[in-house]
Amino acid sequence: MSMAETAGRTAAALPEGKYFMVLWGLAENFGGMTTMCLHRAGAFSRFGGREAAIISFEPKPSYQALTDRLREQGKLAPGTQVLNVFQHYRDADLDGLPAVAQPAVPEDQGPAGQPEVVLDPSGEVFMRTIMRPDGTTVAHRRYYRPDGTEFFRDEAPVDAAGKPLGRYLTLLDRTGNAVGRWRTAGDFYRHWMRELAGGDRAVFIVDSGFAAQVVAPLDEQHILKLVVIHNSHIAGGGDPFTGKLATGRKPIFEDSAAWDGLVFLTRKQREDYELRFGRATNLFTVSNPKPRAEALPPFEGRDRRRGVMVVRLESQKNVADAVDVMALVHQKLPDVVLDVYGKGSLRDEVQARIEEQGLTEVVRLRGHAPNAAAEFETACFSLLTSRNEGQPLALMESLGRGCPPVSYDIRYGPSDVIEDGVNGFLVPARDTAAAAERVVRLCTDAELAREMGRRAWERSEAFSDTAVIGQWAAVLEQAWRQVPDRVVLSGLDFTLRELGLPAAGGLEIEGELAWRQSAGPALEDLVRANLVVGRRAGGAPVFFPAEVLERGPGRLRLRAAVTDGQLDEGVSGDNGFLDIYLQVEGNNVLHTFRIGYPGGSTWRPYATVHGSLSLQYA
Amino acid sequence: MSQPPPQAFELSKASVTADGLLTLSGTVRAVSGQADGGYSFVLAVRGGAAEREYPARTEAGAPGAVRVSCSVPLAELAAAPEDFVDLYFQARDASGSSRTRVTWQPSSLRWLPYPTKFGNLSLKRKAQ
């Protein structure tokens, strides 16, 4: 069925400026993050009226074959440019640029291994790498134009003892003159980004966590930087209030003030983030877009005894639970089936579970199907039993084709788009019995299934391309408005000067917050601080405002206190431990410090199990 | 030597500063008048290995009570890092001295402080 969003440029919905979608690289086979990045670039042009280019930093000689294929498959819009920093400077005319004066690169006195060569599609040398004998450390890389001249050199010399002497990245014209020199790769990449912006208003939207480390330090008044949080911010989809931050994106959250926008895909994820860390002006929510059926597929075309899952057969997706759900459904409705589209490393394991339960005719693994989403148009229900998600696209596809979903209420995504009992069913995670009961209802109550399907399709309008570009436009307009209020700072730190432990319980802290600020309104005039009590077994932390004792340029002296009663308020019985933090917030600044004891390693007061005061060294 | 009746010491607060000073403050409600030998705090390495006494400062408090405080430079503690050090309040008069353990106010208390293995501040629920 054709999609509602047909080709055709709309009036510019997005603010004026140049637009770039940032990936680290573009692999031959990629997943949802890159898919969404490419789609967004096309949608910005078709529905937002602004061309957007994809940019990347990986050392690759050409994307031509890949982009040709992606355009054929409709995954890359015809007008969307794909730019790469090395491909850019390989083709760039550098001969008119003035030579830069720079000290000579120190002589490399380290051992060298065999050279490795990367050719371009024409068979010309693109890159020659000299590794150290360990096979993992790069001694230097030289990059060549198609005519054989060197255009870029990346050197990491060491002295005779093997001590690193720094990194030197040099851009060369055709005669071998240095026309640019950087000491970190990030500085080189950001130089290119500034050239791309060309002094104009420019927006960089980052999808890759790795590329985010390149973009974060870019600081220009005419540039906006936003990063899309594609998955749970918590490692392994753990507890939102106590779980460790996901490793790959941890630097983003720890330096969130560097961004004009942290863009969450769902309202629920942003809420969880705010409940744990606090609020800031640079936290936004924008859904991924997902095209919907132009019209509601006819209910009469649906097989009332068939459900569909479109899912990777991987641990996170927890397809085993779907098998268990269908085992329960089968006891009441023996002719109801579930078709599972997708592949993955757990295929054999899932198939074994199906066979163990005698469900080979009930749960059918259909493998990969190029247009599996169309299956939602002829099914009576869909299932989602994942452990965690960023925003489950299969759920959006199900809604967009009028197929009511039965979904675990997991973090994140289902509760943003399903109104339980209206356009689908939400059941507690791992509650297979509840899920089975909802499937049975959809298969036995035609009016319920019809009405829910209609409501599901209606709800999907919220994540159409048009709607999502509208969300981006609103976010970007707000982000531009906030540029004058953007605080640029470094070295934000809290020093605990005194810890008080009242005998009646609770605690008091006094300390100094310090930072170095390079732009924006004075942080000392707008920052707020809170003593935060975290509950280790789960539940949102509780914030207690701190008192400002003194304000000065780049520093605040703070005091905060909490009583035993306040510590105890609302803490569930299974929570035996509380952890103490100091949180600071103001405009785009949001940071949390774990509170220890003042001073370095020393004797620290603590309470024995009998409530007596003792000291231990820590 | 006979033991004098124990002086009722009530801790108000224990605090520790970045320069390594532990300050204890509280109130003594004398059972049989002012201890003429004065008050002190004793820091004793658990197991009886060593102890050290720090005289307390006093000032008049509410009727029948004396406000007591004492500062202990933690760097002076002669104890090994694996040791635990227990704190006592000591009152001395002509008939001898008495010690009581310095405690939080256990009857009302629900959460007790402790340092985590990384040296951070946490609280654990008090066993009922």
What the block records as the tokens of A25 is 């690289």
- Residue contacts between A and B (CB atoms, under 8 Å): 171
Cα separations in angstroms, A337 against A304, A324, A334, A405, A437: 10, 13, 8, 15, 15
pLDDT per position as a tens digit, A354-398: 999 999 999 999 999 988 999 999 999 999 999 999 899 999 999
The confidence score (pLDDT) of residue B127 equals 80
**Phi and psi torsions of A7, nearest 5°:** -60, 150
Q: What is the DSSP letter of A361?
A: T
Residues 6+ apart with CB under 8 A from A161: none
Chain centroid offset of residue A569 CA? 34
Chain centroid offset of residue A452 CA? 31
What is the biggest distance separating any 2 CA atoms in chain B, rounded to whole angstroms?
Answer: 46
The confidence score (pLDDT) of residue B34 equals 54
Closest-CA distance of chain B to residue A166, Å = 33
The confidence score (pLDDT) of residue A614 equals 95
Chain B positions in Cβ-Cβ contact with residue A564 (cut-off 8 Å):
108-111
**Helical (H) or strand (E) element with A64:** helix A64-72
Chain A positions in Cβ-Cβ contact with residue B112 (cut-off 8 Å):
505, 606-607, 611
Contact B15 A500 (CB under 8 A): yes
Query: Nearest Cα to A290, choosing from A416, A428, A407?
Result: A416
The confidence score (pLDDT) of residue A9 equals 42
Please check whether residue B97 lies inside any domain of the structure: yes
Q: What is the DSSP letter of A265?
A: S
- What gap in Å lies between CA A406 and CA A401, rounded to an integer? 14
- What gap in Å lies between CA A290 and CA A369, rounded to an integer? 18
Closest-CA distance of chain B to residue A604, Å = 7
- What gap in Å lies between CA B47 and CA B111, rounded to an integer? 27
Please check whether residue B2 lies inside any domain of the structure: no
Contact B22 A618 (CB under 8 A): no
Q: Is A599 on the interface with B (CB under 8 A)?
A: yes
Q: Is A96 on the interface with B (CB under 8 A)?
A: no
A600: three-class secondary structure by DSSP: coil
Closest-CA distance of chain A to residue B59, Å = 20
Does the structure show a pLDDT above 80 at B31?
no
What's the 3-state SS for A411-440? CCCHHHHCCECCCEEEECCCCHHHHHHHHH
Closest-CA distance of chain B to residue A525, Å = 26
- What gap in Å lies between CA A220 and CA B112, rounded to an integer? 49
The confidence score (pLDDT) of residue A3 equals 38
A501: three-class secondary structure by DSSP: strand
Query: What is the rounded average pLDDT for all residues in chain B?
Result: 87
A385 conformational bin, left if phi > 0, alpha if psi -120 to 50, beta if neither: alpha
Q: What is the DSSP letter of A236?
A: G
Contact B114 A606 (CB under 8 A): yes
Chain A positions in Cβ-Cβ contact with residue B83 (cut-off 8 Å):
617
Q: Kindly report each contact of residues A370-375 with a partner whose C-beta sits within 8 Å and lies 24 or more positions away, as own/partner.
A: A372/A310, A372/A341, A372/A342, A373/A310, A373/A397, A373/A401, A374/A1, A374/A401, A375/A308, A375/A310, A375/A339, A375/A341
Contact A617 B82 (CB under 8 A): yes
A125-131: strand order across its sheet: A115-119, A125-131, A138-144, A150-155, A168-172, A178-182
pLDDT per position as a tens digit, B58-74: 998 888 889 999 999 99
Please check whether residue B125 lies inside any domain of the structure: no
Please check whether residue B17 lies inside any domain of the structure: yes
Closest-CA distance of chain A to residue B14, Å = 5
Contact B101 A612 (CB under 8 A): yes
Chain centroid offset of residue A528 CA? 27
| DSSP line for A240-257 | TTTSPBPGGGHHHHHTGG
Contact A504 B105 (CB under 8 A): yes
pLDDT per position as a tens digit, A396-417: 999 999 999 999 999 999 999 9
A261: three-class secondary structure by DSSP: strand
Contact B26 A504 (CB under 8 A): no
| Count of helices and strands (H, E) across chain B | 0, 10
Contact A501 B108 (CB under 8 A): no
- What gap in Å lies between CA A480 and CA A17, rounded to an integer? 11
Closest-CA distance of chain B to residue A538, Å = 14
Could you tell me if B84 and B44 are in contact, meaning their C-beta atoms sit under 8 angstroms apart?
A: no
The confidence score (pLDDT) of residue A7 equals 38
Does the structure show a pLDDT above 90 at B128?
no
Contact A499 B16 (CB under 8 A): yes
**Helical (H) or strand (E) element with A88:** helix A85-91
Cα separations in angstroms, B98 against A158, A355, B1, B71, B89: 68, 77, 11, 20, 8
- What gap in Å lies between CA A615 and CA A536, rounded to an integer? 24
Chain A positions in Cβ-Cβ contact with residue B104 (cut-off 8 Å):
501, 503-505, 607, 611-613
pLDDT per position as a tens digit, A11-31: 569 999 999 999 999 998 888
Please check whether residue B18 lies inside any domain of the structure: yes
Contact B125 A575 (CB under 8 A): yes
What's the 3-state SS for A423-484? CEEEECCCCHHHHHHHHHHHHHCHHHHHHHHHHHHHHHHHHCHHHHHHHHHHHHHHHHHCHH
Residues 6+ apart with CB under 8 A from A546: A528, A529, A530, A531, A558, A559, A560, A582
Contact A503 B16 (CB under 8 A): no
A366, exposed or middle or buried, with CB in 10 Å at 0-12, 13-18, 19+?
middle
Amino acid type, A152: F
Closest-CA distance of chain B to residue A465, Å = 48
The confidence score (pLDDT) of residue A102 equals 82
Q: Is A570 on the interface with B (CB under 8 A)?
A: no
Closest-CA distance of chain B to residue A412, Å = 30
The confidence score (pLDDT) of residue A106 equals 96
Could you say which residues of chain A have pLDDT below 70? 1-12
Give the structural domain span for B89: 8-104
Please check whether residue B60 lies inside any domain of the structure: yes
Chain B positions in Cβ-Cβ contact with residue A500 (cut-off 8 Å):
13-15
Contact B16 A604 (CB under 8 A): yes
The confidence score (pLDDT) of residue A370 equals 83
- What gap in Å lies between CA A396 and CA A412, rounded to an integer? 13
A523, exposed or middle or buried, with CB in 10 Å at 0-12, 13-18, 19+?
buried
- What gap in Å lies between CA A145 and CA A168, rounded to an integer? 20
Q: Is A595 on the interface with B (CB under 8 A)?
A: yes
B20, exposed or middle or buried, with CB in 10 Å at 0-12, 13-18, 19+?
middle
- What gap in Å lies between CA B85 and CA B79, rounded to an integer? 8
- What gap in Å lies between CA A316 and CA A246, rounded to an integer? 15
Whether pTM > 0.80 for this model: the answer is yes
For chain B, helix, strand, coil in percent to 5 are 0, 55, 40
- What gap in Å lies between CA B124 and CA B89, rounded to an integer? 25
Find residues 270-289 of chain A whose CB sits inside 8 Å of chain B.
Answer: none
pLDDT per position as a tens digit, A152-190: 999 999 999 999 999 999 999 999 999 999 999 999 999
The confidence score (pLDDT) of residue A472 equals 97
Nearest to A609 among B14, B87, B127 (CB): B127
Domains and CATH numbers, chain A: 18-89+198-285 (3.40.50.2000), 114-188 (no CATH), 299-463 (3.40.50.2000), 487-616 (2.60.40)
Contact B111 A567 (CB under 8 A): yes
Chain B positions in Cβ-Cβ contact with residue A602 (cut-off 8 Å):
16, 20, 74-75
pLDDT per position as a tens digit, B90-118: 998 888 889 999 999 877 789 999 999 88
Could you tell me if A340 and A309 are in contact, meaning their C-beta atoms sit under 8 angstroms apart?
A: yes
The confidence score (pLDDT) of residue B62 equals 84
Provide ipTM, 2 decimals. Answer: 0.93
Please check whether residue B128 lies inside any domain of the structure: no
Find residues 349-368 of chain A whose CB sits inside 8 Å of chain B.
Answer: none
| A577 to chain B: closest CA residue | B124
Please check whether residue B96 lies inside any domain of the structure: yes
Query: What is the rounded average pLDDT for all residues in chain A?
Result: 95
Lookup result for tokens 């801790």:
B11
Q: Is A611 on the interface with B (CB under 8 A)?
A: yes
**CATH number of the domain within which B53 lies:** 2.60.40.2440
Chain A positions in Cβ-Cβ contact with residue B114 (cut-off 8 Å):
606-607
- Say how many domains are in chain B: 1
A69 conformational bin, left if phi > 0, alpha if psi -120 to 50, beta if neither: alpha
Query: Nearest Cα to A326, choosing from A406, A228, A246?
Result: A406
Among A613, A614, A616, the strongest candidate for a mutation testing the B interface, having the largest count of B CBs within 10 A, is A613
Contact B104 A611 (CB under 8 A): yes
- The residue count of chain A comes to 618
- What gap in Å lies between CA A181 and CA A188, rounded to an integer? 8
